[in-house]
Amino acid sequence: MLLNYKMKTFQHSFVEFIPDYIEEGILYISIKYHTAVHKCACGCGSEIVTPISPTDWRVTYNGETTSLYPSIGNWGLECKSHYWIENDKVIFARSWSEKEIEQGRNLDKKRKNQYFSKWKKRKK
């Protein structure tokens, strides 16, 4: 069987403000507001907002393509899609189990606590 498989790609757009209308297949990146927005790669149309910070996502731009790190897990959405955006390409990952989602959340909490406690120490 031949599969007509087309790799899903994103174009990136560096913007000052995130536009009201988010176009499918474009990753909008606002450096000013430390935010990236795109429409869910599964095609369900949901807008995914990824804050850019040391404890959230980071965007890498190599002069041609962009990557978002870590992966995007839309557990709160009906589609529950999970994917990476790497060099403007979408790499779908398998969905996580409830247990893995829970573990991911705990790790995230731990990471944030560490980050903020470090920041507090520095402030003193």
Binding Zn ion (rule: CB under 5 A), the pick from 17, 23, 32, 44 is 44
* CB nearer Zn ion, residue 25 or residue 33: 25
End-to-end CA distance of the chain: 65
The verdict on 42 binding Zn ion (CB under 5 A) reads yes
| Least distance to Zn ion, CB of residue 75, Å | 11
Q: Does 40 bind Zn ion (CB under 5 A)?
A: yes
CA 14 to chain centre: 15
Q: Which stretch binds Zn ion (CB under 5 A): 34-42, 47-55, 83-91, 102-110?
A: 34-42
Which of helix, strand or coil describes residue 7?
coil
Q: Is 81 in the site for Zn ion (CB under 5 A)?
A: yes
DSSP secondary structure of 13-64: EE-SS--SSPPTTEEEEETTTTEEEEE-TTTT--EEEEEBSTTSBEEEE-SS
Q: Which of 15, 79, 91, 101 binds Zn ion (CB under 5 A)?
A: 79
CA distance 121 to 118: 5
Interface residues with Zn ion (CB under 5 A) are 40, 42, 44, 79, 81
